[in-house]
Amino acid sequence: MGKVRFDVSVSLDGFSAGPNPRFDEPLGDGGERLHEWMLQTAGFKEAHGGGEGGATGRDDEVVRETSDNTGAYVMGRQMFGGGEGDWGDGSWKGWWGDDPPFHVPVFVLTHHPREPVPMEGGTTFHFVTDGIESALEQARAAAGDGDVQIAGGANVIQQYLKAGVVDEFQVHVAPVLLGGGVRLFDGLGTDELQLEVVRAVESPLVTHVKYRVL
Residues that bind a second copy in the complex, under the rule CB under 8 A? 12-14, 18-19, 29-30, 171, 173, 175-180, 183-193, 195-197, 199-207, 209, 211
Give CA–CA dist 63/71, Å, rounded. Answer: 16
Q: Evaluate whether 108 touches 151 at the Cβ level (below 8 Å).
A: no
Minimum CB distance to a second copy, residue 197 (Å): 5
Closer CB to a second copy, residue 141 or residue 163?
A: 163
Closer CB to a second copy, residue 88 or residue 164?
A: 164
Q: Evaluate whether 158 touches 185 at the Cβ level (below 8 Å).
A: yes
Minimum CB distance to a second copy, residue 60 (Å): 17
Q: Evaluate whether 114 touches 106 at the Cβ level (below 8 Å).
A: no
The closest of 189, 195, 190, 188 to 159, measured between CA atoms, is 188
CA 150 to chain centre: 6
Closer CB to a second copy, residue 39 or residue 177?
A: 177
Minimum CB distance to a second copy, residue 178 (Å): 6
Closer CB to a second copy, residue 93 or residue 162?
A: 162
